C-alpha cells in the first residue's frame, strides 16, 4: 500500500483551515493542485457537497 501524506509546511496546514476560501501560492511542482484534490476527498460523502476547481494552465 502506498501512503500519501502532505509535505511539512503549507501542505500540512492547508487541510486544517476552517476558512471558506483558502489561497495557496507556490512554485511549479510544489503540490498545490494535489493538495486541493486531497482536501476535496474529505467531503465527497456529504450529500450536499459540490466543488469547482479553477486551475491556470501553463
**pLDDT digit string, tens, across residues 37-54:** 887 888 889 899 888 888
* The predicted structure's pLDDT at residue 4: 77
Q: Taking the CB of residue 51, how many other CB atoms lie within 10 A of it?
A: 10
d(CA 19, CA 1): 32
pLDDT > 70: percent of the chain: 98
State how far the Cα of 27 lies from the Cα of 25, in Å rounded to an integer: 7
CA–CA separation, 4 vs 11, rounded Å?
12
Residue 58: predicted pLDDT: 62
The residue with greater pLDDT, 48 or 34, is 48
pLDDT surpassing 80 at residue 18: yes
Is residue 53 classed exposed, middle or buried when 0-12, 13-18 and 19+ CB atoms within 10 A define those classes?
exposed
Amino acid at each position: 500500500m502506498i501512503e500519501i501524506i502532505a509535505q511539512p509546511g503549507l501542505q500540512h496546514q492547508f487541510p486544517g483551515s476552517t476558512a471558506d476560501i483558502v489561497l495557496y501560492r507556490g512554485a511549479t511542482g510544489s503540490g498545490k493542485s494535489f493538495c486541493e484534490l486531497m482536501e476535496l476527498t474529505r467531503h465527497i460523502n456529504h450529500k450536499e457537497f459540490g466543488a469547482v476547481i479553477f486551475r491556470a494552465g501553463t
